[in-house]
A = this chain, B = another copy of it.
Amino acid sequence: MAKLNMVQALNLALRQEMEQDDSVIVLGEDVGKDGGVFRVTDGLAEAFGEDRSRDTPLAESGIVGMAVGMAVAGLKPVCEIQFSGFSYHNFHQIENHAARYRMRSQGRYHVPMVLRTPYGGGVRALEHHSESREVYWSHMPGVKMVIPSSPRNARALLVSAIRDPDPVIFYESKALYRAFREEVPEEEETFPIGKSRRIREGDDLTLIAYGAMLRRALEAAERLKEESGIEADVIDLLTLSPLDDTLFVDSVKRTGHAVVIHEAPLSYGPGAEIAARIAEKAFYYLEAPVARVTGYDVVIPLFARENDYIPSVERIVRESRKLLEKI
């Protein structure tokens, strides 16, 4: 097992899938020689040829619309959209087509494509390079929405996404790309799309997060324990749609308290669905309303202020304590 950061882990997933299956085609802006602006596709064009890690003209709808056609014709395209802030350009190709060819053709055609794109703040980037809009894709019928939180699960989930017969939107946290390394086995590893994971056990409180916020939730859990003896259960959602509510609902049944954390804006954000599900499925166990620790309902500010926007460990700790004091 090698210790890899998330960029390397994703690269490993792509490389191995491309080796095994020549229908896997990477395409996007600068994914060829340049290896992607974050280097996730580094070396793929050299290893597999330019057609397998295909630089495209600068047009997101073109990339995704072309991928839809490739997928319908039997390939497994993995598109890279350079930043999720530019994935709105291809929104109609996903909503109107990738998500629907199976239904529209009564099952004759389907769209086994992946749309990888970096999301989220924390890397001192320009406007449009730091936002979180996972709800747009999570609410969309016909697609799946996945957000890994570590090198190892990123690799396993990307392999599963590539093999999935339906379109998968795959958000990669820029803040996590090179944040830390993890043992990632050389052997094939997959992780089922549509399953969440318990990362830490505790009976006092349930922390629910995904992507970059999972790490903060874990740190917050450690501090809650150290500073106040509070034991938090931590759930990593990993897939936002279809949403696996079994683990967090069970957890809340034990803890009676939940905090959901995300970078996306509060209103109509992912936390709303989590809170609604918990209320629906664990109402009589809840001792306080689900707390939402999230971005604010404004565009994430330019980078000098972005850390005041993104939920901090301190803030998670504070809201968790507040929640428990209410008991």
- Closest residue of chain B to A296 (Cβ to Cβ) is B141
Given A280-B289, A288-B283, answer yes or no on A268-B142 (Cβ-Cβ < 8 Å): no
A85-129 CB contact bits vs B (8 Å, 1 = yes)? Answer: 110110110011001100110000000000000000000000110
Q: Which residues in B have their C-beta under 8 angstroms from that of A95?
A: 88, 133
Q: Residue A37 at the B interface, CB < 8 A?
A: no
Cα–Cα distance between A89 and B91 once the two chains are bound (Å): 7
A256-294 CB contact bits vs B (8 Å, 1 = yes)? Answer: 000000001101111111011001100100101110100
Cα–Cα distance between A219 and B290 once the two chains are bound (Å): 33
Q: Which residues in B have their C-beta under 8 angstroms from that of A88?
A: 91-92, 95-96
Q: Which residues in B have their C-beta under 8 angstroms from that of A273?
A: 267-269, 272
Determine how close the nearest CB of chain B comes to the CB of A284; give it in whole angstroms: 9
Q: Which residues in B have their C-beta under 8 angstroms from that of A272?
A: 268, 272-273, 275-276
Q: Which residues in B have their C-beta under 8 angstroms from that of A269?
A: 139, 273
Cα–Cα distance between A326 and B299 once the two chains are bound (Å): 41
Number of contacting residues on A, CB 8 A?
46
Q: Residue A138 at the B interface, CB < 8 A?
A: yes
Q: Residue A243 at the B interface, CB < 8 A?
A: yes
Q: Which residues in B have their C-beta under 8 angstroms from that of A135?
A: 135, 139, 268
Copies in the complex: 2
Determine how close the nearest CB of chain B comes to the CB of A129; give it in whole angstroms: 12
Q: Residue A180 at the B interface, CB < 8 A?
A: no
Q: Which of A175-224 contact B (CB under 8 A)?
A: none
Q: Residue A150 at the B interface, CB < 8 A?
A: no
For the complex of A and B, list the 10 residue pairs with the smallest distance between their C-beta atoms, beginning with the closest.
A88-B92, A139-B268, A272-B272, A275-B276, A91-B91, A279-B289, A272-B276, A283-B289, A272-B273, A88-B91
**Chain A to chain B contacts (Cβ below 8 Å), 6 pairs:** A136-B136, A136-B139, A142-B298, A272-B273, A275-B276, A279-B279
Instruction: Contacts A88-B96, A91-B91, A91-B92 known; list 9 others, CB within 8 Å.
Output: A88-B91, A96-B128, A135-B139, A135-B268, A136-B136, A141-B297, A242-B267, A268-B270, A271-B276
